[in-house]
Amino acid sequence: MKIWKPVIAFFCLMLVALVLGIAGRMGLIDAAVMKRGIGLVIGASALVVGNYLPKMRPLKSAPAERIGGLILVAAGIAFLTLFTLAPLDQARRVASIIGFSALFLIAVSWLWQARTIRFRGRYTGSRQLAMSVLFAFLYIFATACVVYLFGKKPWIEWLETGFWVVYMGLFGALHWEQKNVCTTDGPEDHLPA
């Protein structure tokens, strides 16, 4: 599968969120319109990532990716419905609960599937890009849910630090060299003498 479709879609949605945020801060649009628009963008990005997750195969585990994709699609539909129809305060509270529930279900599902996942080699190329998009989305999704539930608090800045620490740890773990893995030196290095 071409990885560029979901990457471009995710990038465009984040660009829309950025434009909404800038327009709201500059006073070009009402704060409620900005918040509702950003909620809709987060719902749409959950749909995009959920739809493409099984096709991108970042985890190399079809069941985990399908379950995660279905959960994200359902959460995306819920976000879109809430931010379209419900009053803004209620939409933010309910969306945060749905978002946290979705993240919890995905984590449980992936931990359950992790016992059967066999990591083969390094994450390079399109899988590395897919993992980066997935982690970026999960960070944005989790941060939005926290802000929706608690508002902007100083301790929320620590979430960013925690995310980058976890991201770097997972990035390092996914790129850890395994023993007895053939290198790219060529087949002649592995022939008997």
Instruction: Show me where the domains of the chain are located.
Output: 4-176
What are the strands, taking DSSP E only, across the chain?
none
Say yes or no to pLDDT of 80 above 70: yes
End-to-end CA distance of the chain: 40
Mean pLDDT (whole number) for 140-159 = 75
Higher model confidence: residue 73 or residue 141?
73
Look at 187 and 131; give whichever has higher pLDDT.
Answer: 131
Query: Which pLDDT band holds residue 182 (cuts at 50, 70, 90)?
Result: low
Query: What is the H or E stretch that residue 106 is in?
Result: helix 88-114
Q: What's the rounded Cα separation, in Å, for the pair 87 and 192?
A: 71
Please compute, for residue 5, the number of CA atoms within 13 A of its CA located in the half-sphere on the CB side: 9
4-23 pLDDT per residue, tens:
788 888 889 989 988 998 99
Q: Which of 82, 102, 100, 103 is nearest to 38 (CA)?
A: 82
